[in-house]
Amino acid sequence: MKPLNTIFIVDDDPIHQQITEIMLNRLNVACHVAKYSDAQEVLDHFKANLHNESALPDIILLDLNMPIMDGWEFLEAFTHIRPLLNKLVKIYVLTSSIDEKDKERVDVYDYVNGYLTKPLTNEIILQIGQ
């Protein structure tokens, strides 16, 4: 499998960030992994790099429950940024929530590629890396 260019992990839990990064690297799924604890930082990165395709990720692994800006607020804001991008960015919600209402709410965002529950497994990582 050819590794993707960049994966952004957006999660306020540093332990989960580290474990996910180790798994991605071990399975050779990404050339570069960037970790963010605040979803607003990711939005700012997108706004600053709208026309710089190489600075944008191929995949975002997005936690829903975060302080400051949560995953829902990120998705709402990304809805407006997405049409301005020159690159297709896949978003996977990665959460500890098993609430069916959250799954249904994520379905509203047609550009979200999947709803994944923590912890990630090797099989799931290999699927999203394809």
Are 109 and 79 spatial neighbours (Cβ–Cβ below 8 Å)?
A: yes
Query: Does 86 have pLDDT greater than 60?
Result: yes
* 89/6 Cα distance (integer angstroms): 10
Query: Does 3 have pLDDT greater than 80?
Result: no
For residue 67, the surrounding DSSP H or E stretch is none
pLDDT by residue (tens digit) across 91-108? Answer: 999 988 888 899 999 999
In the prediction, which pLDDT does 2 show?
Answer: 53
In the prediction, which pLDDT does 99 show?
Answer: 85
Q: Coil, helix or strand for 29?
A: coil
Buried b (16+ CB within 10 A) or exposed e, 28-38: ebbeebbbbbe
- The sign of the dihedral angle between the CA atoms of 118, 123, 124, 126 is positive
pLDDT by residue (tens digit) across 69-81? Answer: 999 999 999 999 9
Query: Does 59 have pLDDT greater than 70?
Result: yes
**All domains of the chain in start order, with CATH:** 7-113 (3.40.50.2300)
